[in-house]
Every structure is written in C-alpha cells, then in structure tokens.
A = this chain, B = another copy of it.
Amino acid sequence: MKSVHLAFEVLEAVAFEPGEIGVSELANKLRTTKGTVFRHLQTLVDRGYLIQNASTQRYRVGARAYLIGRAAAERVDIIAGSQDAMRSLRDETGETVVISSLSNRGNIVMNTLIGKSSLEIGVRVGSVLEPHATAQGKAVLAFDTQGLAKQLRRRGLAGLTPHTVTDIDELERQLEAVRAQGYATAAEEMLLGISALAAPVMDDSGKTVGSIAIVGSIQNIGRQPTPEQIEAVLRAAQRVSWNLGYVGHLPFEPRGGRAPARKAMG
C-alpha cells in the first residue's frame, strides 16, 4: 500500500515538525518528488489533518489530527487506564512518572506527569526507550515473551554513558533479577545524573504491554531505590494492569507475602 504509507509519512513528518514545513523541504526529507508530496499534502489538507498557512504557503498539522488523537486517548487502554495511578504515584514519590507502551515500533513514551522537584525532569512523549539502557526497557524485556531479548544479541548494546550495560550476559543476569523482584532500575545508564525505576504492565491476556516508571535525579532515586519507592511503583503497575483486565498478581506481591528484595548489599 505504497501511497497510503507515503501519505502517513507526510502526515507524521509535518506533525512532528516544530513549526511549519514546505513542499520542497519535505520532498527531499522523504526522498520523493515535489509533485508527489504536493499531492499528498493537498489530500491531507482536504481531510483537515494539515492546514496550509495562507501567507507562507507552508504546512502544519491541523485540527483533525488532534481529534483522532483524542478519540484514541479514550480507547488506548494503557493511557485511559493509567490516569489515576500516575497521579497517585507522582504524589507518593514526588518524582516524574512515565508511561510507556510496547508497540511494533519499540517501547514508546506515551504519557508523563512531571514531578514536584523544582528542577523539572521530563521525557518527551513519543520518544523511543532504549531496551537495554532504561529501567522501562528492562522491565519490559524481562517479562516479554516474544523474544525481544534475542533481537538485542544481533544488534548489540550501545554504550550511552559509562554506566550503560553493554555486555549481553550481564544484561541477562539483570533481567533475571528483574523477574525475581518485579521491577527494574537504571541509574545513569542513559544520561548521567538521571535514574529510573520501572515495573511492567500486563494486559488481560497476561502479555507485557508497557511499563510505568518514576524518573528523577540520581540523588532522589538511588542506585538501590528505597522500599517506599519500589512499593509505590509496584502498586501503580498492579493498578494499571488490573485496569487493563489483568487477573491475578504481577510476579511480585506488593502487600503481604514475600517482601520485595531488600538485601543488605555491601
């Protein structure tokens, strides 16, 4: 479905462009001809997904794109089902809360709630979370059943900071620990000074569909997070999963039963 794919390429290129963009610029960004891009822009304007600035003749995203996004927000389960849990988690921990969703395009940041610290730490919605260098990535990898971890062996692990796990066997060991604990951490593995704590979110079929995480300064979320932080994240993940129809408990037991791993480490 070539033309449809191209139409969406055009839509996305314009939508994610800050400001406006013209036909020519788009054409060689998408490696096509001006004529083709022009035609696509026209139909998208027709449909209200884009609008053309009458004076500059350049294009920007339009109202209809916003409307289908709103419709989606009500129906994409992990968005609708995480609203309350996000707020609770933010209030309990004070940290920035990040929801990510696993799609065929990777583990994508879907929603965020900025923490209370005076220095605001955020993550851009829509960005792709590195599987091996983020807490969210590891939380999802550990409980994934489609063999995502296998794919990493071929690709290799890029080192983003001195703390990034670049050895695949070391990563596997960490994933084993994540499975045992029910949560994943990543301290300064993506960006120096920033740390995260994440837990997986499951849907009604028990499949891992995303994660909920807190992200903050390494000063607030330590290499070994506090039991309170862990408990709060696990509880939030459980709540969201239940909202998605997940039955039973996540691999951990948030309350009673086996306490979260809290070994006295050297």
Contact = CB atoms under 8 A, between A and B. Distances in A.
A75 B47 contact: no
B76 A62 contact: yes
Nearest to A204: B55
Given A1-B3, A76-B61, A68 B67 contact: no
Nearest to A78: B63
B3 A71 contact: no
Most buried by B among A46, A55, A71: A71
A65 to B, nearest CB: 4
Nearest to A75: B61
Contacts of A75: 15, 18, 60-61
Nearest to A12: B68
Per assembly, the copies of the chain total: 2
Contacts of A110: 63, 66-67
Given A1-B7, A5-B47, A76-B62, A67 B18 contact: no
Contact of A47 (B8, B66, B70): B8
A68 B64 contact: no
A118 to B, nearest CB: 21
Interface string A89-100: 000000000000
A127 to B, nearest CB: 10
Interface in A200-220: 205
A131 to B, nearest CB: 17
Most buried by B among A4, A42, A108: A4
A62 B72 contact: yes
Interface string A110-128: 1000000000000001100
A39 B5 CA distance: 12
A79 interface: yes
Given A1-B7, A104-B48, A61 B72 contact: yes
Given A1-B3, A48-B103, A48-B105, A16 B71 contact: yes
5 contacts: A61-B75, A63-B72, A65-B68, A66-B73, A69-B71
Given A5-B47, A65-B76, 14 more contacts: A1-B40, A1-B42, A4-B43, A8-B49, A12-B68, A15-B68, A15-B75, A16-B68, A48-B105, A61-B68, A62-B72, A66-B69, A66-B79, A67-B69
